[in-house]
Structure 1
Amino acid sequence: MMANLPKVAVFLSAYNGMLYLTEQIESILRQKCVCLHVFISVDKSTDGTEDCLAKWALCEPRLTLLPFGLSFGGAGKNFYRLFRDVSLIGFDYISLADQDDIWLPDKLTRAHQILEKTASDAYSSNVMAFWPGGRKLLIEKSQKQVKWDFLFEAAGPGCTYVVRNELACAIQDVIKNRWMEVQKVGLHDWFVYAFARANGYRWVIDDHAGMLYRQHENNQVGVNSGSRAFVQRARKVLGGWGLTQSALIAQLVGLGNDAFLKRWSGHGRLGLLWLALHACQCRRRLRDKIIFALSCLALCITGRRG
């Protein structure tokens, strides 16, 4: 019976994860109706994460800890390392996991069923964020996809992603062949979504939340809430970071000569004004469309990126 179950490679990125890592991995290993294997890459840590996982992997055949001791400098580069170094042969799907969340038991089964039902190549979903005090909040990412959203945002948290082997292999090839360039993309989940959409793969975003998305002060990327998060986003926007990343991603996913990119990238204030006027094609959620347009106008004023 196990031979008929979908085979899933779970890529898990870790760094100083002792506080929540055990709960996360146990929730992954409890997944129903799938045959899975967890591949773990650890950014050089100081809390014993490597030793703990090395001992666990000795007695749990579904865990593989990649050689450790290297400093990657962020979750994105850690995930790129996983895509580069793990063989995808024999797996139907590749799924991404953070170190501090809790997966509900049917997370992967539901993803498989929806991918089959919709004949899609990749899956992501809403998440239920939760805080130490017990607060919970549904984070909705399942708004209708628009023409160019993938150049300006991810499909949602990367920890919800499940992609078919064919797509994962194509992503792996790009990462291997353009290793130094890909590492300049700060958000791996954004890159994965952009590559899929730009190359004609079908992506489905589920309105169901299949996992609990832990929020705490050490999140590298979490729910954008609070005044500190607002200030951080504002600094990135006014510094032009987002559009610089968009242009880089477009080059990497094969859209470097696309008319849409050429219309705004490198055209200064006029390009930014044009982009602001086309905000409806660039983000999924209405609020984000408005913020995107205002951000482009702010950059017109500061002249930081065009």
Structure 2
Amino acid sequence: MLSARRLYFLLSLIVASALVWKGVDWLTRPPVLAAASLILPSAARQHGAALRPAAASPGHAAPTMPAEVSVEDMVRAAAGDPEKSLAAFNKIDECLTLENDKELVDSTDLKITRENGGMQVQLLAHKADEKALQALRRECAGLTGRTRLDRFQLLEYAVNQHVGGALARYIFAGPHGDRSALKVRADDPAVIEWRRDALKRLDDSIAQGYLDAVMLNTSAHLELGVTAGAPELYMEQLATNKIVAAMNADSVVYPQEMLDGWTKTISARQRADAEAQAERIFQAWKQRSTAPHATSTPSAAK
């Protein structure tokens, strides 16, 4: 069953992904290292509270690799393991970022500020120091051309297995890593097919109640050229709160005053439809998370 301890990780990853198309660099530290334990206390929901990841609980940490394992060894170890596949993809992405930018983000803090019924989310990035860069250069030293070309197979495998956060990476990376393709090559048949496939993946995952997909709803649709209105935003936020509250009764993502604000901008019919859709999504999540095969292990929680 998906646990609240992964909420910080998912929200951090989604925010970082959404910022890519605004020109902000991607989180270059492998997301598996950011998977965190989080129970949102009342104090963390107050004005100006900064949410920081706590240590992962024993037995529930996402799989990690020993320090300075080469990227090619990570790829080989990832065979058949979707979470390690996502970790390997992100390590390759770190290597390519370092090649191109000569620097990378080493750590991040997610800051949520609520004021006047609204919510602002800031991703505070901290650059890696020279010691960390040298370690990464050693890990990336053996990166082959084949691995560079095939890296999206690792990501697609993680997406197919619903690894938390993989869908965000897939969509905001763009067709085969070309972030500009949706804008500059919109008529390219390959881009059209990729967009169709990405939309289907997103919509199917939302319908099945995968939390990261639900939280991606409006931002990912916008990235894929589908503009969301107030009813869609209301539905997304309501469905997110339903799932998060079921994981931990004291947790919410969106404040009630924000939800109330959306209801004032939509019709009664739009509100009823959005609430019905949010409930369907929540029930889909509930059915998956309570299915006989569901366990508390991270890989089964996707």
Same fold at TM > 0.5: no
Structure whose residues are more often helix by fraction: 2
TM-score by length of 2: 0.25
Structure whose residues are more often strand by fraction: 1
TM-score by length of 1: 0.25
